[in-house]
Homo-oligomer: A and B are copies of this chain.
Amino acid sequence: MQLREKADAGGVDKARLVEALTRVLPAGALMFEREALRPYECDGLTAFRQLPLVVALPTTEEEVAGVLKACHELGVPVVARGAGTGLSGGALPHPDGVLLSLARFTRILRLDPHARTAVVQPGVRNLAISEAAAPYDLYYAPDPSSQIACTIGGNVAENAGGVHCLKYGLTVHNVMRVRGLTIEGEAVEFGSEAPDAPGCDLLAVMIGSEGMLAVVTEVTVRLTPKPQFAQCVLAAFDDVVRAGEAVAAIIAAGIIPAGLEMMDQPATAAVEQFVHAGYPLDAKAILLCESDGTPEEVAEEIGRMRAVLAASGATDIRVSHDEAERLKFWAGRKAAFPAAGRLSPDYYCMDGTIPRKHVGPLLEAIQGMEQKYGLRCINVFHAGDGNMHPLILFDANQAGELERAEAFGAEILELCVALGGTVTGEHGVGIEKINQMCSQFSRAELEMFERVKAAFDPAGLLNPGKVIPTLNRCAEYGRLRVSGGRIPHPELPRF
Contacts and interface: CB of A to CB of B under 8 A. Distances in A.
The size class of the interface chain A forms with chain B is 35 or more
Contacts of A172: 201, 204
A460 interface: no
Contacts of A253: 225
Interface in A309-338: none
A110 interface: yes
Interface stretch (A71-79, A397-405, A439-447): A439-447
A293 to B, nearest CB: 8
A297 to B, nearest CB: 5
A199 B423 CA distance: 10
Contact of A200 (B112, B116, B190, B452): B452
B199 A441 contact: yes
| This chain: copies in complex | 2
A241 interface: no
A476 interface: no
A456 to B, nearest CB: 7
A484 B189 contact: yes
A320 to B, nearest CB: 20
B448 A455 contact: yes
Interface stretch (A28-36, A48-56, A267-275, A424-432): A424-432
Contacts of A113: 252
A194 B489 CA distance: 13
A386 B195 contact: yes
Contacts of A437: 198-199
Contacts of A97: none
B357 A114 contact: yes
A296 B109 CA distance: 40
A196 B352 CA distance: 10
A161 interface: yes
A130 interface: no
Interface stretch (A8-16, A180-188, A282-290): A180-188
Contacts of A354: 194
Given A114-B252, A187-B484, A225-B254, A200 B208 contact: yes
A357 B484 CA distance: 45
Interface string A65-107: 0000000000000000000000000000000000000000000
A493 B110 contact: yes
B110 A357 contact: no
A300 interface: yes
Interface string A103-138: 000001111111110110000000000001000000
A112 B429 contact: no
Interface in A445-495: 445, 448-449, 451-456, 467-468, 483-484, 486-487, 489, 492-495
B192 A422 contact: yes
A450 to B, nearest CB: 8
Contacts of A306: none
Nearest to A382: B195
Given A189-B487, A252-B114, A448-B456, A426 B196 contact: yes
A453 B200 CA distance: 8
9 contacts: A110-B492, A110-B495, A165-B195, A187-B483, A190-B445, A193-B421, A193-B487, A196-B422, A198-B436
